[in-house]
A and B are shown apart, each in its own frame.
Chain A
Amino acid sequence: MSIDKDTAARVAKLARIKVEEDALPALAQEFNTILGFIEQLNEVDVDGVEPMTSVTPQRLKRREDVVTDGNQQDKVLKNAPDAREGFFAVPKVVE
């Protein structure tokens, strides 16, 4: 399975990372090197093996369904690049 320039562009788009047109061939080449390395996994017989979700077979703990936190809007917004009137501000999304 080889990745071409168009696939590299599609992956960059999905990852929301801007990659300049002239950087795409080198990126595709890097992907191919890494994916070539990963291809070794096809040698392994994985029939009947469940994909691992957790290394420790532990049931996740449950807690009471109650409010435990809140009322810290100023702290939540403190590190925002652009916060206005208690909200995160972003470029216009809806016309």
Chain B
Amino acid sequence: MSDLNKLGLAEARDMLRKGETTSVELTEACLKAIDEADALNTFVHKTPEIAMERAKAADVRISEGDAPSMCGLPVGIKDLFCTKGVDSQAASRILEGFKPEYESTVSQQLADAGAVMLGKLNMDEFAMGSSNETSAYGNAISPWRRGNEDTPLTPGGSSGGSASAVAADLCLAATGTDTGGSIRQPAAFTGTVGIKPTYGRCSRWGIVAFASSLDQAGPMTKSVRDAAIMLETMCGHDPKDSTSADLAVPNFEAMLTGDIKGKKIGIPKEYHMDGMPEEIESLWAEGRAMMKAAGAELVDISLPHTKYALPAYYVIAPAEASSNLARYDGVRFGHRASLAAGDGITEMYEKTRAEGFGHEVQRRVMIGTYVLSAGFYDAYYNRARRVRALIKKDFDDVFAAGIDAILTPATPSAAFGLGEMSDEDPVKMYLNDVFTVTVNLAGLPGISVPTGLDHQGLPLGLQLIGRPWEEGDLLNTAYALESAAGFVAKPGKWW
């Protein structure tokens, strides 16, 4: 069969189990697709040798029977995950040449389940960005285009390479991470599915830290079923991450019944933003109609502190980043600036960090430094943490009132052209995360599902937000939405 790279995880798994294909064939198809897609700049470190070795091992395991779902399935890994012996530089110059001596827990769990790593995927530097334009590797490019135009579009960010690679069928699925929307926004921009699980579901160990109280890993896939399969493998308690939850991981795929009769779906009035494009409003209205037609009950709800989520995020995330990124000092790993005669250790730090960090990362580290500095800590950092508590309480209250899930738009627009936002002030770019960032602040699971196209033929997504630890129920609601929407559009191959 040709075009094996176009399969999703579930279909490929079923074919492997029936002996209709092999992991080697799947992997070769993906490696070929990757080599033909350098124009998308998604795979920034290719690992064909590792891939073929794992594919062969997976085929043996499958032939012996009883292989896990992910066994033999080729996936891409975001560059934020440390992968043993393979470049892992978080798309930053400061980690150039860094080859970890260890493997992140999530990528190890995928490897243990037999998944095949094809390589490392482009992203925004240290996951700071919403368009993949802050990467030291250069922009990742979306396979989607506006009508007949050839303007290169953003695949979103920070997991832009992951989203683009999945949408372009270079891999069956990919890992992503989400601190303020970095899985869900790129998924929405590329017509793919992305879920950020509850904070604590996936171990953060071995994932380059951005904002530790917000960061979570999750899968980026071609369907909700695939997301359920891959998420289950990525989740689980890890003693090496003290915030990882010691809870059993359910069989998420088995929970996909598509039955959402009687479920209460909250529609938050605060997510009707001023100036939101009509297309997003109508997409959301269509989503509500689909939920209702599937037997769910729509309930108008209020999340009164929504408006303050982005400003709170832009205190908390930079503050945590300024601490986390203090480790990049030119001593233990990565880049060290060449020094002039007489330069001491302070000059070494300052020059190394000026050369190694890109502009957006420098800006966020300095904002974080400022809001944590003496005299401002209470006014900015502690105030933001108090507001965060109120944002979480908004969600606690609606869930306590019986809401099962919340339906919102995933993004305030479709994908924009690369460079189109570069003249705007940084706050304009931050607004991309307006619907997703609340979910990170509250630690909740959220999923983006493609449900329509805009007038230019670009994908648009809706977001569902679930109760903490109830990813299975959330995935099932998303499955019902996906079935009703019947989104099947794919980008035409131009690369």
Contacts and interface: CB of A to CB of B under 8 A. Distances in A.
Contacts of B433: none
Given A12-B366, A15-B365, A40-B307, A49 B389 contact: yes
Contacts of B366: 8, 11-12, 15, 17, 27, 31
Contacts of A50: 386, 389
Contacts of A93: 344-345
B199 A55 contact: yes
Interface in B235-282: 239, 242-243, 245-246
Interface stretch (B133-141, B331-339, B407-415, B475-483): B331-339
Contacts of B322: 15
B442 interface: yes
Interface stretch (B5-13, B123-131, B170-178, B347-355): B347-355
B363 A16 contact: no
Nearest to A81: B336
A66 interface: no
Closest 10 interchain pairs by CB?
A55-B443, A51-B385, A81-B336, A46-B386, A18-B350, A79-B333, A18-B354, A75-B101, A15-B369, A52-B389
Interface string A69-84: 0001001101111100
13 contacts: A15-B365, A16-B329, A16-B350, A16-B353, A31-B370, A35-B367, A35-B370, A38-B380, A40-B311, A51-B382, A79-B100, A80-B331, A88-B332
In this complex, the interface size class of chain A, counting residues with CB under 8 Å from chain B, is 35 or more
Interface in A34-56: 34-35, 37-44, 46, 49-56
Given A33-B425, A38-B311, A44-B308, A91 B383 contact: no
A91 B336 contact: no
A63 B198 CA distance: 24
Contacts, number: 165
B387 A17 contact: no
Given A46-B383, A60-B242, A78-B99, 12 more contacts: A16-B353, A27-B366, A34-B427, A39-B311, A52-B389, A52-B392, A61-B239, A79-B101, A80-B331, A91-B343, A91-B345, A93-B344
Contact of A37 (B311, B353, B384): B311
A34 B426 contact: yes
Contacts of B343: 91
Contacts of B385: 51-53
A3 B332 CA distance: 34
Given A81-B330, A91-B345, A41 B312 contact: yes
Contacts of B156: none
Contacts of B399: none
Nearest to A93: B345
A64 B310 CA distance: 40
A76 B307 CA distance: 45
Most buried by A among B334, B370, B380: B370
Interface string B200-241: 100000000000010000000000000000000000000100
B128 to A, nearest CB: 13
B349 A30 contact: no
Contacts of A42: 383
Contacts of B386: 44, 46, 49-52
Interface in B362-417: 362-363, 365-367, 369-371, 373, 380, 382-390, 392
